[in-house]
């Protein structure tokens, strides 16, 4: 499949499913999980900061790490890739589904999920916390005034970051919704993700297995590349623009 065919498939599709990863937010200045471990945090392994065991051993340090990341993403703004996907949702309405591995909330701030389609944050959101006792999810205060840890507004118990950690399962309802959407998609877009984190990476293969066209946008080849219908080798914003922006008159 060439670029023209990929664009034509997107235009004609009524059901589109999208999976996004860290590459989408990179252009907003959001570092990847490991890239964020600089300065003081460089001495920690990922498992020291993002696992249930780490939180049980040292909740204060874990919360300091997440409070810093929360402040960073709050200062960031959605980029062209986020807005292009929100525009695609406006066009496709209820036939549009977006699953993101990102926890920065930038898709929602670009208004994805607000135009008749659905947005699912597979790995959680840095701007919220979850009660350890009753499961209530609540927004964090403004980062300028936030002093962790927060307490539950319902039962006053401690709250943990609302993030899926190493060793934890993705939320079952979110994963089931994503799997259903990708199996039913005429076209699936895989944007800015390395294709190595499962089960999210398996969504592309589910779409292919069900007969859908699967298009990848990523600067580099990934483990998924050999199996997909077409790949656009570019950043998320430029690659999506090539696929989605109207043809220019000649």
- Collapsing DSSP states into helix, strand and coil, what is residue 219? coil
Q: What residues are labeled active site?
A: 123
- CB atoms near residue 4 (< 10 Å): 9
- Supply the pLDDT for residue 48: 81
Instruction: Tell me the mean pLDDT in the region 204-224.
Output: 95
Q: Has residue 45 got a pLDDT over 80?
A: no
Q: Tell me if residue 239 falls in helix, strand or coil.
A: helix
The most distant pair of C-alpha atoms in the chain lies apart, rounded to whole Å, by 64
Give me the pLDDT at residue 44, please: 77
- Domain residue ranges in the chain: 3-30+76-123+167-244, 39-75+128-163
pLDDT of residue 40: 57
Tell me the CATH architecture of domain 39-75+128-163. 2-Layer Sandwich (3.30)
- Per the model's pLDDT, the better-predicted residue between 46 and 154 turns out to be 154
- Non-local CB neighbours of 113 within 8 Å, separated by 6+ positions: 89, 98, 107, 119
Percent of the chain with pLDDT over 90: 84
Which tokens sit at 237? 């914003």
Distance of CA 159 to the CA centre of its chain: 22
Q: With 70 as the cut, is the pLDDT of residue 71 above it?
A: yes
Q: Are 240 and 84 in contact (CB under 8 A)?
A: yes
Which CATH homologous superfamily contains domain 3-30+76-123+167-244?
Answer: TPP-binding domain (3.40.50.1220)
**If pLDDT is split at 50, 70 and 90, which confidence band does 31 have?**
confident
Q: Please identify which residue in the block is written with the tokens 């890739």.
A: 81
Higher pLDDT, 193 or 41: 193
Residue 250 has pLDDT above 70, yes or no: no
pLDDT at 245: 77
């Amino acid at each position: 499949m060439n670029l023209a065919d990929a664009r034509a498939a997107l235009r004609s599709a009524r059901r589109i499913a999208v999976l996004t990863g860290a590459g989408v937010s990179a252009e907003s200045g959001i570092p990847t999980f490991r890239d964020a471990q600089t300065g003081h945090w460089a001495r920690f392994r990922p498992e020291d900061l993002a696992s249930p065991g780490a939180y049980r051993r040292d909740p204060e340090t874990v919360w300091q790490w997440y409070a810093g990341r929360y402040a960073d993403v709050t200062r960031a703004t959605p980029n062209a890739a986020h807005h292009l996907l929100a525009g695609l949702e406006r066009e496709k309405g209820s036939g549009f589904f977006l699953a993101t591995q990102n926890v920065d909330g930038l898709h929602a701030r670009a208004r994805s999920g607000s135009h008749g389609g659905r947005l699912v944050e597979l790995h959680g959101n840095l701007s919220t916390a979850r009660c350890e006792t009753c499961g209530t999810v609540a927004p964090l205060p403004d980062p300028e005034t936030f002093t962790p840890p927060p307490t539950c507004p319902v039962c006053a118990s401690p709250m943990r970051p609302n993030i899926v950690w190493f060793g934890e399962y993705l939320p079952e309802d979110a994963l089931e919704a994503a799997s259903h959407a990708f199996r039913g998609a005429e076209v699936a877009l895989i944007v800015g993700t390395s294709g190595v984190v499962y089960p999210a990476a398996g969504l592309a293969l589910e779409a292919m297995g069900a007969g859908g066209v699967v298009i990848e946008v990523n600067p580099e080849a990934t483990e998924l590349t050999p199996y997909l219908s077409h790949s656009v080798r570019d950043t998320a914003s430029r690659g999506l623009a090539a696929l989605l922006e109207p043809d220019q008159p000649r």
